[in-house]
Amino acid sequence: MVQRHREYRQKIISHYQPVHKELYTMQAAQFFVPSFLKAINENTEDSFRSIMAEPAPGIYTFEMLQPYFCELLLSEVETFERWVIETNFRIMRPNTMNRYGCVLDDFGLETMLDKLMEDFIRPMSRVFFPEVGGSTLDSHHGFVVEYGTDKDSELGFHVDDSEVTLNVCLGKQFSGGELFFRGIRCDKHVNSETQSEEIFDYSHVPGHAVLHRGRNRHGARATTSGCRVNLLLWCRSSVFRELKKYQKDSSNWCGECQREKKERQRQSIAATKLELLKRDGKPTS
């Protein structure tokens, strides 16, 4: 499987001619807005928080990409998709849920996106998501998804195959397409009920990013007009995934595990109180 994917990628890279070569190496000053660069350079929790909003627990939003970068990437993706049609090349879609969009790693952008994860996303994840491997992110899956009335319109409720997800709107003109979040869950509780404090809806703004745990259940509402294109970077930690195999307790990050733990503690305290009252010979009613 790995070998086949390597051959597939090699085939694309040896035949596809990029139009915007400057996209393929990290050029931070051209790609990112100054406020984001300054926060990353200072590399402190305070500097990150100074550019961010946290509209719901564990969901961070901030301005990130210059219009120049968004336009360049949109143009490169359109060129790649034209090439795919012209050459009758069968491409792999980003995931099992999206029928439109493409994997950026497959046509040469892997190195640049690796740098994006290592130098820009990992420093923030180390601060905000340490309990899910935020400081040990070591691989990624980078892709764009496209929504519109003639493409994928919406995206059902799901969790990502990532520890940390970066989701940035590239454009273009659109209405609708809000992201809706419904709380962080482990595998066991992925379909459990949502608590009111876990409900959050987010409207995309071109150039603005949302950073969240991959296990935060979410989906996208219908894009009702125009076309919306988003860049996604699923960041993964092999260390966290290995540790998770041996850890039965997910209560430091799963919302439902936390609730169950609190309930057990509450019951235990109540039982202890009852026992003490009995010992003192006081009536328990």
Cα distance between residue 272 and residue 67, in whole Å: 61
Evaluate if residue 30 carries a pLDDT over 80: yes
pLDDT over 60 at 284, yes or no: no
DSSP type of residue 280: T
For the CA atoms of 15, 21, 24, 26, what is the dihedral angle to 10 degrees?
170
For the cut 70, the answer to whether the pLDDT of residue 96 exceeds it is: no
Q: What is the pLDDT of residue 42?
A: 97
Burial 67-93 (b: 16+ CB within 10 A, else e): eebbebbbebbebbbebbeeeeeebee
Consecutive H or E run containing 137: none
Structure tokens at 31: 């790609």
Q: Once rounded to an integer, what is the mean pLDDT over residues 42-67? A: 96
* Confidence tier at 282 by pLDDT (50, 70, 90): low
The DSSP result for 100-122, as a single string, is SEEEGGGGTTHHHHHHHIIIIIH
CA atoms within 13 A on the CB side of 115: 10
Cβ pair 221, 178 in contact under 8 A: yes
Alpha-carbon radius of gyration of the chain: 22
What local confidence, expressed as pLDDT, does residue 93 receive? 77
pLDDT at 70: 97
% of residues, the chain, pLDDT over 70: 94
Distance CA 185, CA 213 (A): 10
Q: Superfamily for 2-247?
A: q2cbj1_9rhob like domain (2.60.120.620)
Please tell me the chain's helix, strand, coil percentages from 3-state DSSP, rounded to the nearest 5: 45, 25, 30
Six token digits for residue 189 = 């509780």
Residue 225 near residue 149, CB atoms below 8 Å: yes
Whether omega before 11 lies within 30 degrees of 0, making that bond cis, reads: no
Q: Are 165 and 213 in contact (CB under 8 A)?
A: yes
Residues 177-202, mean pLDDT to the nearest whole number: 80
Angle at 120 between CA 116 and CA 125, to 5 degrees: 115
H or E stretch at 232:
strand 223-236
Q: How far apart are CA 268 and CA 283, in angstroms?
A: 19
State the first-to-last Cα distance of the chain, in angstroms, to the nearest integer: 66
109 contact partners, CB below 8 Å, separation of at least 6: 23, 24, 142
Alpha-carbon span 75 to 161, nearest angstrom: 27
pLDDT for position 150? 64
Question: Is the distance from CB of 102 to CB of 77 less than 8 angstroms?
Answer: yes
